[in-house]
Amino acid sequence: MNNGTENSNQISIMIVDDTPANLQVLAGMLKDGGYKVRPVPSGKLAINAAENDPPDLILLDIMMPEMDGYDVCRKLKSTEKLKNIPVIFISAMNDTPDKVKALGVGGVDYITKPFQFAEVRARVETHLKIRKLQLELQEHNNMLQKIVENKVKEISDSQMATIIALARLAESRDYETGKHIERVQIYCKMLADRLCEKSGSKGKMDIAYVENIFHASPLHDIGKVGISDSILLKPGKLTPEEFEIMKTHTVIGAQTLEAVRGKYPKNAFINMGIAIARSHHEKWDGTGYPNGLAGEDIPLCARIMAVVDVYDALRAKRCYKKPFEHRESCDIIIKDEGKSFDPAIIEIFKELSSRFETVHNGMSG
């Protein structure tokens, strides 16, 4: 770097001064130090040149026509890609208020004219070293952040895999189809995505909500692990007593997840899983279970899950029934608009019904 030749690895220093003699003297001195020097005779030209090719450091005069050094520095510090370039003011103005103002607008140092070569070189080298250390620290922090993000993702993925495995355990006792969970996740995400688009600036839903319902939806029937096979797998119609026992799977699932929430009370994923497990059999008209909730008192995620769960159940083969075709399944659900299901969600379901069929056909069996 100190051999006087210019290459892509050389440190670039911009000198901004409207006096040609000052530019010539400073440029010669810095070139002898092995730096790539870019002399510029005005503030406006300096800003344009810096935006096109940001230097590593700027030596900036104050008293210049059209745009003085203070305004140049303010502009540099307000520009995202230029704001971190160190600016050293170099001026004949020797009063303390001038120096304070220069530092106040973003300068890192102040050299008074007439300057000494040794002083200029020492201050330039000092601030270049500081800037280099700042860049290295930023790079190190970025690398650490990436490592942390990867570790968090690894832990999150492993936890999610465990949760899905537990959900599959519950499913394996009840469903003959192997991809119920995957289909449910996709259906919920489709409905939530569209509802999110329609909510617009109202802020009722966001991307995080959609992501959470995708991951939490497999937990809807996790409480069925607490229901005996004689009831869960009964091929015929359940007796009233048996149905009352079956209905408890909603409470069992919610209570199981509430034990987890005790340790993570602010975890949105767990809270949504509880709401889905407990309330996905509630009905819009209040005739559902376990709490007889009605309308918007039913959590939105559970209202979405209610439509999805019924659609997938109708389409699936069971030991006690044959699968319904897509059109017939849709008709059954749509007829229950305003009774079992939220009318707003049914409107979205109508829009996306063909996509439901595509998902089912691609993931059946």
Please give the pLDDT value at position 158. Answer: 61
What residue has token string 């376990």? 290
Q: What confidence tier does 176 reach under pLDDT thresholds 50, 70, 90?
A: low
For tokens 């691609």, what's the residue?
A: 362
Average pLDDT taken over every residue of the chain: 87
Place of tokens 């201050």: 123
pLDDT over 50 at 100, yes or no: yes
Q: pLDDT value at position 2? A: 41
pLDDT at residue 200 in the model:
59
- Can you tell me the distance from the alpha carbon of 253 to that of 222, in angstroms, rounded to the nearest whole number? 5
| Domains defined along the chain, listed by start | 12-142 (3.40.50.2300), 173-362 (1.10.3210.10)
> With the C-alpha atoms ordered 216, 221, 225, 226, is the resulting torsion angle positive or negative?
positive
CA 184 from centroid of its chain's CA atoms: 23
For residue 200, give the 3-state DSSP assignment: helix
Spatial distance between the Cα atoms of 226 and 49, rounded to a whole number of angstroms: 71
Structure token digits, residue 151: 């570790």
Read off the DSSP letter of residue 112: E
CB 119 within 8 A of CB 111: yes
The per-residue pLDDT for 237 is 85
Instruction: Give pLDDT, residue 365.
Output: 55
Distance CA 114, CA 179 (A): 80
List, for residues 3-57, the tens digit of each pLDDT value. Answer: 444 455 789 999 999 999 999 999 999 998 899 999 999 999 999 999 999 999 9
Confidence check: pLDDT of 327 > 80: yes
pLDDT of residue 5: 44
> For position 150, what pLDDT does the model report?
73
Other CB atoms closer than 10 Å to residue 338's CB: what's the count?
13
Q: CA 62, 67, 70, 75 torsion: positive or negative?
A: negative
Of 104-108, 175-179, 197-201, the range with the lowest mean pLDDT is 175-179
pLDDT average, residue stretch 287-307: 96
